[in-house]
């Protein structure tokens, strides 16, 4: 038995951009503006999908879930990031870190499944339009969304529990804005093989599997569109898919860019790499949720009309 006396950490220190005070001010302003855009944009989409009867369809039901998820995801991390940037308060308690990790992992896992469900919905709508109301009835699409949320929550419980049960001793500095799971695992003073294996399984289930669903759905969609005789029909089919496909490319592109490169936690002395890590983290955590409502609003006439209706209704009420 190891007789060495170990001091176990009770809190972590999030470095963020501590070495760049000027950048911290810039980042604070940018993140604050983008967070407000996220709340307003996604909030309008949720309200529109609820009150506009034209949007009571599976696609807009999933879109409303995606907007709610983006609000929850950013609200679990952005406020604390803003506080650390403006007040220099960089410490986070052990339990606070666990909660932040759980919420971030749960929202990310759920979004992967939701994007896969939305691709399947588009596949049925375009490739089997006559059977669409039967296949994608209310019970089915509500169940699909519920499975996405439940599975994402269970996955996050497993990953967070396995990570936070580890002994952390000595170094408690996380070179990140958030309690990101890979950054936290680097600080454990014990074997993390089980964590790595479960993360690999999780990635297969929540990243690769939905991506395969999206890929094959769009292969069938493309095949169906190319067989259409009407140019108007082809344009309409493409327009209904373009917004979702754009969101998928941004979401998965950012994830693969983040995790396909060496992590900055291995090079704490490298200031340039630390700044790059912070920039990528901000893009993934704030820019993507901000772009979602903008993309769907710009590329979808129904959403545009519904949002205008909501804004006009509010103006009349005032």
Residue 311 inside a domain? The answer is: no
Residue 91 inside a domain? The answer is: yes
pLDDT for 293 equals 83
Contacts of 238 (CB under 8 A, 6+ apart): 225
Average pLDDT value for residue range 93-109: 89
Residue 226 inside a domain? The answer is: yes
CB 286 within 8 A of CB 80: no
Helices 271-282 & 21-51 angle (0-180, nearest 10):
10
Residue 233 inside a domain? The answer is: yes
The span from the CA of 6 to the CA of 272, in Å, is 32
| pLDDT tens digits for range 252-305 | 887 776 655 544 444 444 545 555 655 666 666 788 888 888 887 766 666 666
Residue 2 scores a pLDDT above 60: no
- When mean pLDDT is compared across 32-36, 152-156, 163-167, 284-288, the lowest value belongs to 284-288
Residue 119 scores a pLDDT above 80: yes
CB 250 within 8 A of CB 259: no
Residue 130 inside a domain? The answer is: yes
Q: What is the CATH number of the domain that holds 175?
A: 1.20.1070.10
Residue 310 inside a domain? The answer is: no
- Provide the residue range defining the domain that includes 108: 11-259+273-304
Number of domains in the chain: 1
Output the 3-class SS for 114-127. Answer: HHHHHHHHHHHHHH
pTM summary value: 0.85
Ramachandran quadrant class, 16 (left: phi over 0; alpha: psi -120 to 50; beta: rest): left
Torsion of CA 234, 66, 203, 261, to 10 degrees: 80
Percent of the chain beyond pLDDT 70?
80
Residue 118 scores a pLDDT above 90: yes
pLDDT category of residue 4 using cuts at 50, 70 and 90: very low
């Amino acid at each position: 038995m190891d007789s060495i006396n170990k001091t176990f950490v009770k809190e972590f220190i999030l470095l963020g951009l501590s070495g760049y005070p000027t950048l911290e001010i810039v980042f604070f302003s940018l993140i604050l503006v983008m967070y407000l855009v996220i709340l307003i944009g996604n909030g309008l989409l949720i309200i529109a999908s609820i009150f506009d009867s034209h949007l009571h369809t599976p696609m807009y039901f999933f879109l409303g879930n995606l907007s709610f998820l983006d609000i929850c995801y950013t609200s679990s991390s952005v406020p604390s990031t803003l506080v650390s940037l403006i007040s220099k308060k960089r410490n986070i308690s052990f339990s606070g870190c666990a909660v932040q990790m759980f919420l971030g992992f749960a929202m990310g896992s759920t979004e992967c499944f939701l994007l896969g469900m939305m691709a399947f919905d588009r596949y049925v709508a375009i490739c089997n339009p006559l059977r669409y109301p039967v296949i994608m009835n209310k019970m089915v699409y509500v169940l699909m969304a519920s499975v996405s949320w439940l599975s994402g929550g269970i996955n996050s419980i497993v990953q967070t529990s396995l990570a936070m049960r580890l002994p952390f001793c000595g170094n408690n500095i996380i070179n990140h804005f958030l309690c990101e799971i890979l950054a936290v695992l680097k600080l454990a003073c014990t074997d993390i093989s089980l964590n790595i294996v479960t993360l690999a399984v999780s990635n297969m289930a929540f990243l690769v599997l939905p991506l395969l669903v999206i890929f094959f759905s769009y292969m069938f969609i493309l095949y169906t569109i190319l067989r259409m005789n009407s140019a108007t029909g082809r344009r309409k089919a493409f327009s209904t898919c373009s917004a979702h496909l754009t969101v998928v490319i941004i979401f998965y592109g950012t994830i693969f860019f983040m995790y396909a490169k060496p992590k900055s936690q291995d090079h704490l002395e490298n200031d340039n790499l630390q700044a790059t890590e912070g920039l990528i983290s901000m893009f993934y955590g704030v820019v993507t949720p901000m772009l979602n409502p903008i993309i769907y609003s710009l590329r979808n006439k129904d959403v545009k009309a519904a949002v205008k209706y909501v804004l006009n209704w509010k103006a009349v009420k005032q």
